[in-house]
Amino acid sequence: MSSVIKKRYGLLPGETGKFAGILSGFILLLAVLPILTMIVMSFSGASNLDFPPSSYSLQWYKAAWNTFVSPDSSDVLSLGKVMTTSLMVACLTMVFATIVAVPAAYALTRCEFRGKAVALQLMSLPLVFPMVVLGLALLLVFDSLPFQMTTSRLVIAHVILALPFVVKNCTAAMLSIGSEVEEAAQMLGASPTRAIIDVVVPLMKSGILAGMLLAFIVSFNEFTVTYFLYTIDVMTVPIWMYSRTVSSLDPTVFSFAVLIVLIDFVLIWALEKLVGEGGVSF
């Protein structure tokens, strides 16, 4: 790659690294610029959305706190209740996706069976399937059932979306564990099931933790599919924030967005600290 850059732009060997650094910095700036803009606007002291703000204050954070405690005239639910729902759905998604993904990853790496290639493709299907079509299809399925589902249908939908991430990370962890580990455990008297639980699963820890945190992040930030499945009494934070911007852009949304970014930042930081960059597979 560096030789191509040198040839095209006529750079000297010592200048290639500098050019690459400038280019990387520019791309990184474009990536974080919307977030920085949102953070600056959350401290605006003006009543309009002019950028940059003419003055700065904490008025929108104060308004956000009041909305967190109790809904205003434009809200049916308070942000506190919506946040509780989002956290509950994300935690349940994380747990159920992991329960499904761990044995699935083991089967995909250790076992040979008819249709294995098809199963691998189906596992990745939610990553490329149009979210709008998936949300509409799930809505039709859930509405055709003879019983009502509220929070549970959000959890099921989010598990479908998060499962490829968890399976991919657990599979990556499984590939680094040789079958001789299980054989040694069984030679020492462990049953096949006990060998998996006591030996294989602990060795998969990095992949499992990475998958769990990614499942939480995917669920907590999911909007498109959730938009088709939420109800007036059960909605997540992204849906609630969108509802405040339908008629007019409420400046308090910037304060809420900063909170979401902080939560995601902490989760990603925890992901890197717990498993390291090598244990994460997107």
Domain ranges in the chain are: 1-37, 76-279
Mean of pLDDT values over 231-246: 82
9-64 pLDDT tens trace: 555 555 666 777 787 787 877 777 777 877 777 777 666 666 777 777 777 777 77
> Between residues 265 and 3, which one has the greater pLDDT?
265
Give the whole-number percent of the chain exceeding pLDDT 90.
10
Highest mean pLDDT among 91-100, 203-212, 247-256: 91-100
Amino acid at 155: V
Are 229 and 154 in contact by the 8 Å Cβ rule? The answer is yes
Q: Cβ contacts of residue 198 below 8 Å, gap of 6+?
A: 185, 190
Q: Where does 76-279 sit in CATH, by number?
A: 1.10.3720.10
SS3 55: coil
Q: Is the pLDDT of residue 155 over 90?
A: yes
Which parts of the chain fold into alpha helices (H)? 2-9, 13-42, 59-69, 79-110, 116-128, 131-143, 151-175, 179-187, 192-195, 201-203, 205-221, 224-229, 237-243, 252-275
Burial category of 165 from C-beta neighbours within 10 Å (exposed 0-12, middle 13-18, buried 19 and up):
buried
Are 87 and 151 in contact by the 8 Å Cβ rule? The answer is no
Report how far residue 13's alpha carbon sits from residue 22's, in angstroms, rounded to the nearest whole number: 15
101-131 pLDDT tens trace: 988 888 888 877 777 778 777 777 787 888 8
- pLDDT interval class at 76 (50, 70, 90): low
Q: Given this model, what pLDDT does residue 16 score?
A: 66
185-234 pLDDT tens trace: 878 777 777 888 888 888 888 888 888 888 998 999 899 999 998 888 88
